[in-house]
Amino acid sequence: MLRPVGPLPAAVYWRRRLLVLLLVVAVLGGGGWLLVAALGGTPGRAATATAAATPQAAATGPPALERVLPSVAGVRTPTPAPEPPAEPAPAPTQTPGGPCSDDSIELEVRGPAGAPAGSKPTFELVVTNVSPVPCVRVLDERLQEVLMLDAAGRRVWGSNDCFPGDGTETRTLAPGESVTAALVWGGRTSEPSCTTPRTTPQPGDYLLRGRLDTEVSPDVPFTIS
């Protein structure tokens, strides 16, 4: 196969083979170029167009970070709804001429700041209508009471323990009007049944507290010397 056979010199046959090989290579190369041109156009021009378009797209498009994360300025945070204003508590109402509620009266204990042991001081229970309209309050003696407590809050004496009283009274109180009831302390201890021995409290600091049925006054200091 490799050695030429024929009447002509061997060089002639080698030249013919070389010429045929060149023709085959040329045909194959031309066919490949035509196939590429038919499928995608000219390779050199496509590469040039792609290279030219890439910088322009990069220049006009958003930065790479903004394509991944949104801009802070573009993020909208919701605004919290304002809290409704607090409504004031409704003022207690008092029906004109009706019964005085506990909110409509003020109770106070008045008297000396102190007294010697064994003495008999007088205390006053003062009831005042603090509402803007007149109202009616039951002032029965059994509903009125002054209590004495020691520093630990233990009961020492009560005005109704041994002498509860049986008087009845219903009073119409005008706005700002006060009613005073005087109660005398006998100077000795007592308890509600008034059955235990009554003794003279020891000198020291005590508290006085008034009561009119369900209404209770603030405590008032009292000293026994």
Looking at the structure, tell me whether residues 149 and 39 fall in a common domain. Answer: no
Is-contact 147 158, C-beta < 8 A? yes
| Spatial separation of the C-alpha atoms in residues 182 and 159, rounded to whole Å | 11
pLDDT at 164: 83
Question: Letter for the amino acid at 174?
Answer: A
Q: List, for residues 59-96, the tens digit of each pLDDT value.
A: 455 555 555 555 555 556 667 677 777 766 555 577 89
Asked, for residue 138, whether it belongs to a domain, the answer is yes
pLDDT at 85: 74
Which domain covers residue 145, as residue numbers?
102-224
Looking at the structure, tell me whether residues 33 and 111 fall in a common domain. Answer: no
Looking at the structure, tell me whether residues 42 and 142 fall in a common domain. Answer: no
* pTM summary value: 0.58
Asked, for residue 123, whether it belongs to a domain, the answer is yes
Asked, for residue 95, whether it belongs to a domain, the answer is no
User: Into how many domains does the chain fold?
Assistant: 2
In the numeric block, the tokens 């009561």 are attached to 211
Looking at the structure, tell me whether residues 47 and 157 fall in a common domain. Answer: no
In the numeric block, the tokens 């508290």 are attached to 207
pLDDT at 33: 62
